[in-house]
Structure 1
Amino acid sequence: MSIIDTPPDDDESVADLYSADVADLGYVPSHTRVMAVNPEATRVFQHLARTIVSQLGLRNYELATLAAAEAIGSQACLYAHGRKSLKLFDEEQLARIARDHQDAGLSEADVALMDFAARLSTDSASMTDADSTRLREVGFSDREIVDIALAASLRNYFSRALHALAVDVDVPPGLSPRLTEALTLD
C-alpha cells in the first residue's frame, strides 16, 4: 500500500484525470490516484502515449505494452492493459498471448515486436542493431521501430514508478476469472 496522500475526488486540478477513469472503468484506480499527485506529469505521460498510438496503432502499442509489463513484473499494468486489449483480441486469444506470446498464434511480426519489447525491458544495455534489424526484417518501418521502442520504454517508466511508490494493484472490471488468471504473474 502506497504511503502517498492522493488528491480527493473533488480536487479540481485532477477532475479530468479522475472523470476519464470513471467514464472508462466506473472507478478511479489506485495508479491514477497516486500519479495524480503530479497531474501535469500524468497529462504529459498520457499525451506521449496517445502520440505513440497515433502512429504505431493501438494493437501494436498494446502488444508492446503487454510484453514490457510482463517482462518487468508489472501486475498492475498487465491487468489494466489486458482489459484495454479486450477491444482488440477476444478473451481466448488474449489469454494465449498472456501465457506465451510465442505460442499464441500471432504473426511473426507480432512475436518479433513483443520479443523486442521484452528484451528492452530486461536487458536494454546489450541490445544492438540486430534487435532493430529483426523488426525491419518482419516489415516494420523505421518510424514503427522507434515507436515500438518508445512504447516499451514508456511502459517501463510508468510501471517502475508504480513499483517504487508501492501502488496497490487493482483488478479492473471486465476481466473474467480465466483472463485474470492468465494475466497474473507467477
Structure 2
Amino acid sequence: MPNYLRVLALRPEVYGAWLRLAEEVRAGMDLRRYELVTLTAARSLGSSYCGLAHAAVLLERFYDDTELRSIMTDRRDAGWRRWTSR
C-alpha cells in the first residue's frame, strides 16, 4: 500500500476530494502527459516522494532510463518536443 493511502485513509472525505481533483486534472490528458506534468510539479515543489512515484510510472510505461534522465536533467536539451509528442 502506498504511503499516501495510509495517510488519506485517516480522512476518507479528504481522500474522496483528492480522487475527484486528480480525475479532473487527468481528464484532458493521456497518462504519459499527466505523469510528465505531475513529475514536473513534484520536482518544483521539492516532493521527492511524488517525483519518484511519477518517474517510476514514466520509466515503466513510456521511457527508458536514458530518455527519462535527459528529460529530468534539462528538458530544453533533451529533445523535449520529441518526448512530449509521442
TM-score bracket for the superposition, by shorter chain length: 0.7 to 0.9
In 2: Cα distance, 1:50 partner to 1:89 partner: 23
Q: Which residue of 1 aligns with 2:15?
A: 42
Q: Which residue of 1 aligns with 2:70?
A: 96
1:133-152 correspondence runs (5 A):
none
The structure showing larger relative contact order (alpha-carbon pairs under 8 Å, at least 6 residues apart) is: 1
Task: Count residues in correspondence.
Answer: 83
Between Structure 1 and Structure 2, whose CA radius of gyration is higher? 1
One-letter amino acid of the counterpart of residue 77, structure 1 = C
Structure 2: runs of 5+ lacking an equivalent: none
Residue 36 of structure 2: which of 56, 63, 82 is its match? 63
TM-score (normalised: structure 1): 0.40
Moved over 3 A (4+): none
Q: Which residue of 1 aligns with 2:25?
A: 52
In 1: Cα distance, 2:75 partner to 2:19 partner: 26
In 2: Cα distance, 1:99 partner to 1:36 partner: 35
Deviation, structure 1 residue 33: 0.7
Going from structure 1 to structure 2, the CA distance change for 1:90 and 1:43 (only over 3 Å counts) comes to farther
Deviation, structure 1 residue 50: 2.5
1:52-131 correspondence runs (5 A):
52-86=25-59, 87-107=61-81, 110=84
Percent of matched pairs sharing the same residue: 37
In 2: Cα distance, 1:40 partner to 1:30 partner: 17
In 1: Cα distance, 2:68 partner to 2:37 partner: 13
**Higher share of residues assigned helix:** 2
In 2: Cα distance, 1:94 partner to 1:48 partner: 26
Deviation, structure 1 residue 29: 2.3
In 1: Cα distance, 2:3 partner to 2:76 partner: 31
TM-score (normalised: structure 2): 0.77
One-letter amino acid of the counterpart of residue 98, structure 1 = M
Task: Tell me the SS of whatever aligns to 2:27.
Answer: helix
One-letter amino acid of the counterpart of residue 101, structure 1 = R
